[in-house]
Amino acid sequence: MVSDSSRVPDVLAERYGRSPGTHRREKRLGIIVAAAFAVVLVAWVTWASLDAAGSSLETRDVAHAIVSDTSVEVTFQLTVEPESTTYCAVQALNERFAVVGWKIIEVPPSEMRTRTLTEGLRTTELANTGLIYRCWLA
C-alpha cells in the first residue's frame, strides 16, 4: 500500500508544473525555437549576400564653393556600375546646420564607373557648406 505522504511531492510537482512531462515539453519547445531562429538567420544571411551582389553605389563629398549669398556649387564623386542611371539629392546647410538649399539631380548613365561631378544649387540664404545627402539607383 502506498502512503499518502509519498504521493504529496508528486501532487505538488504536477500542480506547480514540475512534472517529467513538463520538462520534456519545455525541452522540445526550446529546440523548436532554436531551429526557427537558425532558419531565420540563414535566410537573412543568404538574402543579405544576394543583395550585396547587386549594383553598388558610393558617393564621396569632394568640395564645395560658396558662389554667392544665394548659391553654392557642390563637387562630389559618384561610383556606380557603368550604364546605371542614378538620382542624387544635393543640399546646402547654413551655420546652424539648417537646410537652406535642396535639389534632386538625375545623373545619366556613363561608361565610367567613378565620376567627379559638380552641381550648382540655389539657396535661400548664405550657405556654409554644400554636400550630397543621398544617392539611389533609378
Q: For residue range 54-82, list pLDDT tens digits in order.
A: 568 999 999 999 999 999 999 999 999 99
Residue 2 pLDDT class (50, 70, 90 cuts): low
Average pLDDT over residues 26-32: 90
DSSP strands (E only) in the chain: 57-68, 71-80, 86-93, 99-107, 114-122, 129-137
Q: End-to-end distance of the chain based on CA atoms, in angstroms?
A: 83
Domain covering 57-137 assigned CATH 1.10.12 in the classification: no
In the chain, domain spans: 4-52, 57-137
By the 10 Å C-beta count (0-12 exposed, 13-18 middle, 19+ buried), 75 is classed as middle
What is the per-residue pLDDT for 50? 72
The amino acid at 17: G
What is the per-residue pLDDT for 68? 95
Average pLDDT over residues 19-27: 78
